[in-house]
Amino acid sequence: MKTAIEFKNVSCGYHSTTVLDNINFQINEGEMIAVLGPNGAGKTTLFKALTGLLRPTTGIINIFSNPPHTLSAQKRSALIAVVPQELETPMAFNVEEIVMLGRTASLSRWATPNREDHRIVERCMVYTDIADLRDRPLSELSGGEKQRAIVAMALAQEPKIILLDEATSHLDMNHRFEVMQIAKRLNSEEGVTVLMCSHDLNLAAEFCDRFLLLDHGRVVANGSSSDVLTERILSDVYHCDVRVQQHVGSGSVTISPAHRLTPTRAGQGIRVHLVAGGGSGEELMRRLILAGYEVSCGVLNNGDSDTEIAHALGVKTTLEAPFSPISNEALQRSLEAASSADVIIVCDVPFGPGNVANLKIAEHAGRQKKPVLIAGSIEKRDYTHNKAASAISTKLLAAGARTWHGIPEVMKQLPQSK
């Protein structure tokens, strides 16, 4: 089997921002693959790089062994066709003319479309069931009809790869299904490689065999639905609680965002103290404030990204000078602030000699029999000389502290007001 698409250490972005960060994957000819990920994960950039609209800053992209920007426009269009989310033209082209636009690159400048071109256009219109609409202007069609016409146009390119770029997001569930079924048929009958990106995880799960999950420009997971579409991975990437259920009859997977386990304002009157730093507490702070918790945080260094968020949210914060180790004085102030807290949460922040003192706050709370929630395992991010942070963590866990992975989980463990 040939490799249709290959990304080798690809980084890519706009101006000075890097969007794709060292991406690696391969897609074989004839696969049907979904590229998933939250907004801003890099799906669009990945498609742009793939179609040669954007050149990777480092790394190599291959489409049937050719980097896209080295392909001639004509050859590229014979390999890859794109079905976008939406297509508008200010001119009143009718459906047949639009589908014929798919032949643009294969027609010579001088020739008019010959019998073969008309045959291809005809076949594509029949395939997508729009032959009856051939004389209607594209702009007059309904969303579903329009999208089928665009698929027909892409088919008329006779490509080896079709990219569905959010191609069904504007459609109702019936038309969504219709367009996807056309793609599936193409994939299974004609061996066309289909790459779709979509926010509709269920649709992707229904039709695709492999999934590529992106987050912050990296490939987080790559594999079958049981490898990628798991509650743990999805809730981590989408920052919300996710339920994955397998349908008993069909075996298909249904993914739904469960209600946030903390109902709104569940935290009213409850005080939480965070040990964070380096951005590890940003998202949690936001969530806690939204749920009505009273949040304090410290000790943070001034200028830390967590400090900025804390200020923005009005979180009471104990500060230390930028890049300085925590002084005794700051620690005392923070201990004071934490003394009124009901819960202490230790975020996923690395510990070194400078900030290991922060764990004293957790220790202190532990002695007072207050709940302590620690993110992941501190051993893995302990950069102190004598593994002091790990030692404290072991002691805390022995005394009843609990660990957490991902924000939905920690929110579940928090006490709630009645």
* Interacting residues toward other proteins by CB under 8 A: 15, 51-53, 73-74, 76-78, 80-82, 84, 87-93, 96-97, 101-102, 104-107, 109, 112, 135, 137, 139, 153, 157
- Comparison of 160 and 210: residue with beta carbon closer to other proteins: 160
Number of CB atoms found within 10 A of residue 156's CB = 25
- Comparison of 84 and 278: residue with beta carbon closer to other proteins: 84
Min CB(134)–other proteins separation in Å: 9
- Residue type for position 8: K
Min CB(182)–other proteins separation in Å: 18
Within 200-241, residue ranges assigned H as helices are 201-207, 225-228, 231-238
- Comparison of 139 and 226: residue with beta carbon closer to other proteins: 139
Distance CA 379, CA 105 (A): 59
Distance CA 82, CA 205 (A): 21
Strand spans (E) along 376-414: 402-404
Distance CA 118, CA 103 (A): 10
Distance CA 411, CA 401 (A): 15
Min CB(352)–other proteins separation in Å: 40
Min CB(82)–other proteins separation in Å: 4
Min CB(263)–other proteins separation in Å: 43
The DSSP-derived string for 187-207 is: HHHH--EEEEE-S-HHHHHHH
- Comparison of 183 and 378: residue with beta carbon closer to other proteins: 183
Min CB(118)–other proteins separation in Å: 9
- Comparison of 44 and 202: residue with beta carbon closer to other proteins: 44
Pick the closest to residue 5 from 58, 68, 59 (CA basis).
68
Pick the closest to residue 288 from 381, 406, 411, 177 (CA basis).
411
Min CB(112)–other proteins separation in Å: 8
- Tokens encoding 125: 């219109």
- Comparison of 39 and 112: residue with beta carbon closer to other proteins: 112
- Comparison of 135 and 385: residue with beta carbon closer to other proteins: 135
- Comparison of 93 and 177: residue with beta carbon closer to other proteins: 93
Show contacts of 48-53: CB within 8 Å, 24+ apart. 49/10, 49/12, 49/20, 50/5, 50/80, 50/163, 50/195, 51/76, 51/80, 51/82, 51/163, 52/76
Pick the closest to residue 274 from 163, 355, 193, 392 (CA basis).
355
Q: What sign results for the dihedral spanned by CA atoms 174, 259, 310, 232? A: negative
- Comparison of 87 and 290: residue with beta carbon closer to other proteins: 87
Pick the closest to residue 359 from 273, 275, 272 (CA basis).
275
Q: Three-state SS string across 175-187, please? A: HHHHHHHHHHHHH
Min CB(45)–other proteins separation in Å: 13
Min CB(54)–other proteins separation in Å: 11
